Amino acid sequence: MSEILSPLPGTFYMRPAPDAPNYKQVGDSVAIDEVIGLVEVMKMFNEVRSEVSGKVVRYAVENEDPVEAGQLLLVIE
């Protein structure tokens, strides 16, 4: 089990644009360096990439949730 933490404080987005599909769904496989979400900090969008490969077990936050630096975003197995 690996945890992906938010690198920055801000707003978390599960998808690249409001009308686009989510980067990942629970059960999807994830490769190393693949984008799993965005964190918006003061109107700047930062991609969050996975450091491991595996499957998405669960998201710990919802789309557009405020997040702290170091907060758990999703769990990968």
Partner 1 sequence: MTKIHKLLIANRGEIAVRIARAAQELGLQTVAVVSDADTSSLVAQMADEVVNIGPAHPAKSYLNADAILRAASETGATMVHPGYGFLSENAAFARRVTQAGLIFVGPSAETIECMGNKSVARETARRAGVPTVPGSTGTVGDLETAVAVAAVVGYPIMIKASAGGGGRGIRVAKDEVELRQFMPLAQGEARAAFGDDAVYLERFIATARHIEVQVLGDGKNVIHCYERECSLQRRRQKIVEEAPSPTLSQHTREALCESAVRLAAAVGYCGAGTLEFLYDDESGEFFFIEMNTRIQVEHPVSELVTGVDLVREMLRIAMGEPLRYRQDQIFLKGAAIECRLNAEDPERNFMPSPGKLSALHWPGGPGVRVDSHVYAGYTIPPFYDSLLAKLIVWDEDRASAIRRMQRALAETRIEGVHSTIALHQALLADPSVKSGHFHTGYLEQWMAQRAAAKAQALLPDLTAH
CA nearest neighbour of 8 among 68, 75, 56, 77 = 68
* Window 48-67: residues binding partner 1 (CB under 8 A): 64, 66
Q: Does the footprint of partner 1 cover residue 42 (CB under 8 A)?
A: yes
Which residue in the set 7, 9, 16, 54 belongs to the binding site for partner 1 (CB under 8 A)?
Answer: 9
User: Distances from the Cα of 71 to the Cαs of 7, 20, 29, in angstroms?
Assistant: 8, 24, 22
Distance separating alpha carbons of residues 20 and 71, to the nearest angstrom: 24
8 lies in the binding site for partner 1 (CB under 8 A): yes
Nearer to partner 1, 10 or 76 (CB): 10
Could you list the residues that contact partner 1 (CB under 8 A)? Answer: 8-11, 40-44, 64, 66
